[in-house]
Structure 1
Amino acid sequence: MLARKTLLGAAWTVSSRLTARAIDFVTLLVLARILTPADFGLTALAATVTIIADMVLEVPTLQALTRLPSVTKSHLDTAFTLSALRGIALTLVLLLVAWPFAQIYQDSRLASLIIVSAIGPLARSLYSPGMVEHTRSLAFRPVFVAEIFGKLAAAIIAATAVRLGAGYWAIVASGIAASLAATSMSYLLAPYRPNLSLSKFREFSAFLGWLSGAQIIIALSWQFDRILLGYSSSKATLGQYTIASDLSVMPTQSLIGPAMQPLMAALSQINQNQDRLRHAYSKASRLTMSLAAPACIGMSLTADLIAEVLLGPQWGEAGLYLRWLALSTVLSAFYQPLHSLALATNRTHLVFRLTLVELCAKIVLMCFGFYFYSLAGVVAARAAVSFIMFVLSLIGARQLVGTSVASEAANLWPIAAACAVMTLLVMGLRYKLPEIHLAAFFELGVISLFGASVYVGALYGFGVRVSSRAGAV
């Protein structure tokens, strides 16, 4: 019963994220055809400080509520109060840092962009805590509805704004509209009457401590490359890199990320059974890599076509960056199931330590790479950090559930072998296709279908089978 509910929950969250990403992608294509790389670079720089402040002050109340044995109205009130206080603090911080940040990067437009962008995180802070009841019961359809409603609102606002000549403000308006619409819908799907109270704060404090610390580090880690490039490169270069970076993580964010929430909820219910927990984690890590690896490698193999067909001629550099950034994303996906496992077993201190190592590695390697090899060095540093996190994830899994490196290698080798076969055959096809003189759009479609077919066939040839019990937890 738990396995079925977990799979259904994962299906809803993956469907939600895929649909949301599809809407985001269409919105991006519309904006990329009208706006310039410099416009995207400017808004990316403003978004960097907003995202860092948003994550530094993150209060993961919904995750804490999910971990509690039972949830009462007092728990919901405490969660809402903590989130509301966080929203107020976030707004004040952004108001204070907007002008100094604009002065540091010598662009007065950044101040107004940061101040207006603060509306989005503030709106998300007021999201109905009652939605946690759906999460706890592994019923993710309401979450799907709220997110898609927000994305549709964002797409409509962005398209309207850019057509009216709003320029880069269309990107900001899109983010604000998504937050306001999703929060409004959450109260329709999970009615809750706000009440300010901290009566259950003690039950939140232990969980929030290490995790909140980890959020601070994650925020700096995720945005460090953009901070570095924003200060040392042109807005156009930053825009090209930002678009390539966002595209490179789409497979993992769309396919893997959404499945982690129901996975954590399911693992929380079996965290007293070590054997069952280890078995469930191994299946989750294998599924994660079976989806992430071919998607990221395939994106790398067709990066130039993706940039030409989807973004347009002015985004040629983005295709070059995408080729290598997509490869650097492959191994980093392996950390996501471990993150869910650590939360489910209340080992948030492990999350904190791993994210701290990741941040330190990024600061050292990216600064070193940028100093000697410019932007290419930053991309190489991201690949090196992904490998470090992959190794640390193997060690972390052994500490939490006792999996060995040998067992994980046996678990993952068919995926690596199938990806190798796919890569060789796709490269061969790409070598021959120019002789046929296909349009770039059709060439991208042919290669994508061919690569997917080869990968699935290779998996089957290496003995991987999909059974009715494949997702059992």
Structure 2
Amino acid sequence: MNVTQRMQIGASLMLLAKFLERGLGLISTVILARLLLPGDFGLVAMAAPIVMFIELLRSFSFDMALIQKADAEAAHFDTAWTLNLLCTTLIALLMVLAAAPAADFYQEPRFAPVMAWLALGTFIQGFENIGTVNFRKELDFGQEFRLMLYKKLASITLTALLAWWLRNYWALVWGTLASRVFGVLLSYHMSHYRPSLRLSHWRDLMHFSKWMVVNNLLFFLNLRGVDFVIARLFGAAVLGQYLVAIEISTILSVELVAAANRAFFPGFVKLSGEPNTVVRHCTT
């Protein structure tokens, strides 16, 4: 099977994964909406724009740098994993420090402990196995499909069970934490690679990744900047309703394109030595 065929199959699998993920997400939203109040969604959603803004510090997309670098070695993977871990640790600390000021900004005292616990989830996420990047790098989209699907199923199941048990916003917080732990364990189960602390190739990775920060910053401002205004002016309940509507309306315009790109980018990297083939794909 040539690279082009693997790209086509990969794009189909990534689109299917996104459809399943969104379909399951809608089912989860319906279930949670029956168990929780709009204010519960809104309270946790208040953290989203703050977390996303702080996480721009780690938006270097080191996974993309590893995929783009044809001669990436174990040292490059270890460096990317170490940088991710350092970034998530810093982000978690910033989230804890921002918890009280953010609660004052939103005029919502319940927000500070929510933010602090979500910071723990961010820290845990930093330990995910960087070896799973090889699924995309080697165009093994079957494994990537399973990784995405298992993580989504675990997230929905754990959060729904906690919502049935707790019947308040803490179900969303604990569900997020449990999902992060599951994601880390799953990444080590599915990939035999075992990363170690190393920073020997940080310059190589940063040369590519620094431009991704600018791209991700502009994307964030376009997609989530308005969340701050809605939360400040109208409160948690209105923000919760708004985000559910956005979740549905952006499926085609954002999510499906991003899913297809997960297959196309590594495929075009493989074809980088065949410019005529790339041109043919882009013009037909």
* TM-score of the aligned structures, taking structure 1 as reference length: 0.57
Aligned counterparts of 1:49 and 1:59: Cα–Cα separation in 2: 18
Matches within 5 A, 1:41-440: 41-271=42-272, 274-282=275-283
Give the letter for the 2:281 counterpart. A
Does the 8 A contact of 1:56 with 1:215 survive in 2? Answer: no
SS of equivalent to 1:191: coil
86-95 or 135-144: which moved more?
Answer: 135-144
Give the letter for the 1:209 counterpart. K
Deviation at 1:168, TM superposition (A): 1.4
Deviation at 1:267, TM superposition (A): 1.8
* Deviations 1:79-109, CA, capped at 9 Å, x for gaps: 1111110111111110111110111111111
Q: Which residue of 1 aligns with 2:37?
A: 36
Aligned counterparts of 2:253 and 2:185: Cα–Cα separation in 1: 28
Deviation at 1:274, TM superposition (A): 4.9
Does the 8 A contact of 1:150 with 1:180 survive in 2? Answer: no
Aligned counterparts of 2:253 and 2:214: Cα–Cα separation in 1: 24
Does the 8 A contact of 2:93 with 2:119 survive in 1? Answer: no
Q: Which residue of 1 aligns with 2:19?
A: 18
Residue ranges of structure 2 left out of the alignment (5+ in a row): none
* Deviations 1:246-290, CA, capped at 9 Å, x for gaps: 11112345533211011011222334555543442345xxxxxxx
* Deviations 1:14-39, CA, capped at 9 Å, x for gaps: 22222222222211110112222222
Aligned counterparts of 1:25 and 1:160: Cα–Cα separation in 2: 16
Give the letter for the 2:157 counterpart. I
* Deviations 1:131-186, CA, capped at 9 Å, x for gaps: 12221111112222222222222122211111113411222233333332122111
Give the letter for the 1:137 counterpart. E
SS of equivalent to 1:164: helix
User: Which structure is larger by alpha-carbon Rg, 1 or 2?
Assistant: 1
Aligned counterparts of 2:254 and 2:186: Cα–Cα separation in 1: 23
Give the letter for the 2:129 counterpart. S
Higher RCO (C-alpha under 8 Å, 6+ residues apart): 2
Give the letter for the 1:240 counterpart. Q
Deviation at 1:2, TM superposition (A): 1.3
Does the 8 A contact of 1:52 with 1:223 survive in 2? Answer: no
- Relative distance call for 1:172 and 1:199 in structure 2 (3 A) is same
Aligned counterparts of 1:22 and 1:271: Cα–Cα separation in 2: 35
Q: Which residue of 2 aligns with 1:317?
A: none
Does the 8 A contact of 1:124 with 1:180 survive in 2? Answer: yes
Aligned counterparts of 1:36 and 1:137: Cα–Cα separation in 2: 44
Aligned counterparts of 2:21 and 2:120: Cα–Cα separation in 1: 21
* TM-score of the aligned structures, taking structure 2 as reference length: 0.92
- Relative distance call for 1:123 and 1:222 in structure 2 (3 A) is farther
Aligned counterparts of 2:220 and 2:121: Cα–Cα separation in 1: 17
Give the letter for the 1:174 counterpart. G
- Relative distance call for 1:188 and 1:253 in structure 2 (3 A) is farther
Give the letter for the 2:213 counterpart. S
Identity of aligned residues (%): 25
Aligned counterparts of 2:30 and 2:166: Cα–Cα separation in 1: 17
Q: Which residue of 2 aligns with 1:3?
A: 4
Give the letter for the 1:132 counterpart. V
Deviation at 1:220, TM superposition (A): 3.3
Does the 8 A contact of 2:128 with 2:184 survive in 1? Answer: yes
Give the letter for the 2:29 counterpart. L
SS of equivalent to 1:172: helix
- Relative distance call for 1:220 and 1:115 in structure 2 (3 A) is farther
* Deviations 1:32-70, CA, capped at 9 Å, x for gaps: 122222222222112221222223432311110000122
- Relative distance call for 1:121 and 1:280 in structure 2 (3 A) is farther
Give the letter for the 2:31 counterpart. V
Give the letter for the 1:85 counterpart. L
SS of equivalent to 2:42: helix
Does the 8 A contact of 2:99 with 2:115 survive in 1? Answer: yes
Give the letter for the 2:261 counterpart. M
Aligned counterparts of 1:134 and 1:197: Cα–Cα separation in 2: 22
Aligned counterparts of 2:282 and 2:107: Cα–Cα separation in 1: 48
Give the letter for the 2:127 counterpart. L
Aligned counterparts of 2:58 and 2:78: Cα–Cα separation in 1: 19
Matches within 5 A, 1:451-466: none
- Relative distance call for 1:180 and 1:147 in structure 2 (3 A) is farther
The CA RMSD measured in Å over matched residues stands at: 1.9
Does the 8 A contact of 1:17 with 1:253 survive in 2? Answer: no
Does the 8 A contact of 1:16 with 1:144 survive in 2? Answer: yes
Runs of 4+ in 1 over 6 A off after TM superposition: none
Does the 8 A contact of 1:91 with 1:122 survive in 2? Answer: yes
- Relative distance call for 1:280 and 1:124 in structure 2 (3 A) is farther
Aligned counterparts of 1:262 and 1:11: Cα–Cα separation in 2: 9
* Deviations 1:318-344, CA, capped at 9 Å, x for gaps: xxxxxxxxxxxxxxxxxxxxxxxxxxx
Does the 8 A contact of 2:106 with 2:235 survive in 1? Answer: no
